[in-house]
Structure 1
Amino acid sequence: MGKLACFCILFFNVQLGLCMAPDLSILIVTYNSRRDIEKCLASLRDNSRGARVEIIVCDNASSDGTANFIAQHFPAVNLIRSAHNLGFGRANNLAAQHAHGRFFLLLNPDTWVEEDLAAAIVNFLDTHPEAGGCTPQHLNPDGTIQVGAIRELPTVESLFYQKTGLAYVFPRSRRFGRYCMTWWDHDEVREVEQAGACLALRREVFQQVGGFDESYFMYFEDVELCHAVRAAGYKIFSLSYARVYHIGGQSAKQAVSKNFIEFYRSMCHYFRKHYGAAGVWPVKIIIAVSELLMLLVLTLALPFSKLLPPPQAWSSRWTQWRGHARLLREVWTF
């Protein structure tokens, strides 16, 4: 009877654990995100009612008190404190090791929801076995569609269209507007190639592709992940009826000059990985020509800096000029 009782207790505990396991593990990586994380976590807490959810935050050694704020105001969050900045991909992989959900939601800290996004994601993935992942419609803070948040995977051709301005002159063209999918009205559920700020994947899909490629420290790790998911034979769908608000560029604004360079370093890394050493040279040439033209424009604008509106993100026109000059000089080494 003693052994039977022990077996019954063990069986009950296992079944209870299975019943209480979360449907969705929301993984968030923070780095000096104190200004944004409160709204993000509060919205998830208040609007996640139709699915069992756990939230895991990996803080990349923030210096603005992000981790302490989360610990104090959101004690239900599983908080991982890294002693140093691991980078976005590696920190997400660490968070995934602590996750118990059937599905993972990779979410940026500068996002928030106003409806039950978790339930929408779980319901879609439960009823669409052909989907390896999904992403909601991304909105700007003012409620307009965030163009470019859901994109095609980059190619040399689409980079050329972006850098020459053809993508902006002909945004409704399926050819020229292909990268940012500006030809699409985001009004239907359809298969897409990549999304970054809010992407849900099945646990087994994330594990099968090995999670994030940790050779990317910042930028393009999400592109690489989506490429790997599709290469493994899985589909990613955009859900027009599910929404997430996204500010965008918050991490990049913390160190504009450095992150501007890192973006293009990661871009060249992506193209080298998938197109080879010879394939990355057209990318470098396109970037270099684009930067040369930008420097010409900025040089002409410098004398009139006080009369022109301030540049976005950059602290001054002169800082912007130096950033583009540095990229032109260093792109050949990427």
Structure 2
Amino acid sequence: MDLSVIIVNYNVKHFLEQCLHSVQKAAKNVQTEIFVVDNNSVDGSTQLLRDKFPDVTLIENHQNVGFSKANNQAIKLANGKYVLLLNPDTVVEEDTFEKVITFMDLHPDAGGLGVKMIDGRGRFLPESKRGLPTPWVAFYKMFGLSALFPKSKVFGKYHLSYLDENETHEVDVLAGAFMLIRKTTLEKVGLLDESFFMYGEDIDLSYRIQKAGFKNYYSPRTTIIHYKGESTKKGSLNYVKVFYNAMAIFARKHFSARKAGIFSLLIHLAIYFRAFLSICKRIFAKILIPALDALLIFLGFFLITPIWENMRFHSREYYPDEFMYLIVPVYILFFLTGILSSGGYRKPLSIYKLLRGILWGVISLLLAYSLVDEHYRFSRALILLGTAWSGISLMLLRFFGHWLKIPGFRLDLTRVKRIAIVGHSHEANRVKQILEETRLNSQLAGFIAIDEEDSGEQYIGHIDQLTEIININRINELIFCAENISSAEIIRAMLDLTQLDVEYKIAPPESISIIGSNSIHTAGDLYVVNVNAISKSSNRRKKRLFDVEIAILLLLLSPVLGWFFKQKTVFFANVWKVLFGRKSIIGYSGIEGTFESLPGLKPGILHPADLFPEITLDNEKIKRLNMLYAKDYLILTDAEILLKAWKKLDRK
């Protein structure tokens, strides 16, 4: 056996599917065994493997045991001369395995090998080659000196950025996303250190390979796509904690006590300094626009109120001070909540969602206005004038910010995405159908031919003319049919077109998904037929907002509603669980096997099946109901189920 490929998977089913397709193609001329270790995924990954990849050896864990331990489970079973640790969010070229094995055979001093990696836009990922993170190297990286002086041999050691990315080099650290290791080397240096749950294990193993007298190499002779990239989650506090712990383990293990202490101190200061800046930046980015909105709305009421008082009551002090400093902030809260629930703060910003949110806000405000004590009712006219001011001023704020190119103010002015599909007619039409079923707001510019057999009115050019096709047809996105075009050709095209503002996605054969990534700062973009509608972030927000509002309403009405429930304690427990996010008002039917392949939801008190209490539903019908609920999710559906089955809110 030449090669053992090991992939650790955790809830990235669609990426895994694409990865395995590319791995199988690359394994055609190499004796290869493939292991997938699943760390207790809940997205249907294991079923996908059983259905579509029966030749893959699946190791199922019943908990997330971490990256190191999962890899070790497969390494112990591996029979290959070489072991490849591969991330599931990667795509390899058809000849990648042949090239890397040839390289290792020609370099008997090599213990490990890494390759050139690009992100989903075709840009080189600097973590393809790295130096050992000694205290000062890590310090330069964490405080940004390596980014300021990338060509410096002093400051650029973390990513070895002074070395040519298109040349072969001896390096210190191999990236865990693609890490080829000689089996005999592993037998000598040992397996991955399971003290590292996530991050740092690749640095530790690379260092041990060097200490054992072997060399680590970086080779650009083959290129792979790595969708997420190193920087995917660096803004999160969780990343900071996990990464710091990994570096601390590495320092204690390999450095002297004094050096480890210095390392720990420097890394601790640097990481938490960067984390503090990152958190501040994220908070500022989150609250900037809502804060400016609130300020503008308040300014509007501040200017409009005295004018209205003078016109209507011939007095500038008709309303008490509490109106401006107590009631108006409540009005503002209604408007901001409406904009938030409408998706008006999602990037890029949408004027339509803004105005829709303001409309929702004023409707909610007027409903609340009619219910409160007359002492707190001031003027519907002022509310309507404030609404008009809010719509105009907040819209102008966004246009102004967009025009000045202020970060976070970019408007979604390109309403229709223009897409071209690269592939043969049959596969291109299949992908076209997937796009139609996703209900993506897009326009198909046409197909792009791969060879002379591709012809017809839908074809707008040949793959050799990609630059001209993109420019002339104003293409925003290319979708490659992996059934018809090799991974190597896709990667070459991405590298050739890096200067153009175009996005890329790949449609695996016989799959309902189309996968891509806009940048290393995103977890990846995914088009799936509309069965995943419930998984859209906007729908998640709406569902959570619905849950919270209903839970609060139920608590307020509980003195009356409580009399209708036999199990009053269960009713109250359910409401509190919904309020704190442990349950949802509406979830899938709880019968085993009816929703395991659907997007995850919190356990529900009520279910879609509650719409049909008079009908006896078998598992197949309930499964169908769950699927329809997930596919075409609407808040109105939740409201309908609640109205029809509210007396079952005391269900355990």
Q: Compute the TM-score of the two structures, normalised by the length of structure 1.
A: 0.80
Query: For 2:52 and 2:283, how far apart are their aligned partners in 1?
Result: 48
Instruction: Supply the distance in 2 between the matched residues of 1:283 and 1:97 (Cα, whole angstroms).
Output: 34
Partner of 1:287: 271
Q: Determine the structure 1 residue equivalent to 2:238.
A: 258
SS in 2 for 1:151: coil
TM-superposed deviation, 1:138: 1.2
1:185 to 128, 153, 164: 164
Corresponding position: 1:278 with 2:261: yes
Contact 1:135 1:198 in 2 (8 A): yes
The aligned residue for residue 197 of structure 2 is 217
Partner Cα distance (2:286, 2:124) in 1: 33
Residues of 2 paired with 1:148 and 1:134: CA distance? 13
What are the superposed Cα offsets for residues 98-135 of structure 1, whole Å, 9 maximum, x if unpaired? 11101101111110112211111211112221111211
1:40·1:112 contact (CA, 8 Å) conserved in 2? Answer: yes
Local SS of the residue matching 1:76: coil
User: SS where residue 25 of structure 2 aligns?
Assistant: helix
Structure 1 residue 97 and structure 2 residue 76: aligned?
A: yes
Q: Which letter maps to 2:254?
A: H
Structure 1 unpaired stretches of 5+: 1-21, 316-334
Relative distance call for 1:210 and 1:188 in structure 2 (3 A) is same
5+ long unaligned stretches in structure 2: 291-400, 402-406, 410-520, 524-536, 538-652
TM-superposed deviation, 1:251 = 11
After superposition, what is the alpha-carbon deviation per residue over 1:69-90, rounded to whole angstroms, capped at 9, x for unaligned?
Answer: 1121111111111111111001
* 1:149 equivalent among 114, 118, 128: 128
For 2:208, the equivalent position in structure 1 comes to 228
Q: SS state of the match for residue 194, structure 1? A: coil
Contact map agreement 1:53 1:118 (CA 8 A) in 2 = no
CA distance in 1, matches of 2:261, 2:106: 43
Range with bigger deviation, 70-79 or 272-281: 272-281
Runs of 4+ in 1 over 6 A off after TM superposition: none
Measured at CA, do residues 300 and 57 of structure 1 come closer, stay the same or move farther in structure 2, by a change above 3 Å? closer
Contact 1:190 1:238 in 2 (8 A): yes
Q: Number of residues paired by the alignment?
A: 293
Using the alignment, how far apart are the partners of 1:119 and 1:72 within structure 2?
28
Are residue 135 (structure 1) and residue 76 (structure 2) matched? no
1:49-198 superposed matches below 5 A: 49-196=28-175, 197-198=177-178
TM-score relative to the length of structure 2: 0.42
Distance (whole Å) between structure 1 residues aligned to residue 164 and residue 275 of structure 2: 31
Q: Select which of 378, 403, 408 maps to 1:309.
A: 408
- In 2, Cα distance between equivalents of 1:206 and 1:241: 24
| 1:238 counterpart residue number | 218
Q: Which moved more, 1:59-68 or 1:291-300?
A: 291-300
In the TM superposition, what is the alpha-carbon distance from 1:35 to its structure 2 partner? 2.2
Report the alpha carbon displacement of residue 54 of structure 1 after superposing the two structures with TM.
0.9
What SS is found at the alignment partner of 1:148? helix
- What's the RMSD between the two structures over aligned residues? 2.6
For residue 217 of structure 1, report the CA deviation from its aligned partner: 0.7
Distance 1:296 1:135 in 2: 35
The one-letter code of the counterpart of 1:103 is Y
- Which region of structure 1 is more displaced relative to structure 2, 128-137 or 218-227? 128-137
SS in 2 for 1:199: strand
Residues 302 and 133 (structure 1 numbering): CA distance in 2 closer, same or farther, change over 3 Å? Answer: closer
* In structure 2, distance between residues paired with 1:248 and 1:204: 31
Identity of aligned residues (%): 35
Amino acid at match of 2:117: H
Evaluate the alpha carbon distance shift between residue 252 and residue 259 of structure 1 in structure 2; reply closer, same or farther with a 3 A threshold: farther
CA contact (8 A) 2:13 2:45 kept: yes
**Structure 1 residues 69 and 229: alpha-carbon distance in aligned structure 2, compared to 1, 3 A threshold:** same
The equivalent residue for 1:324 is none
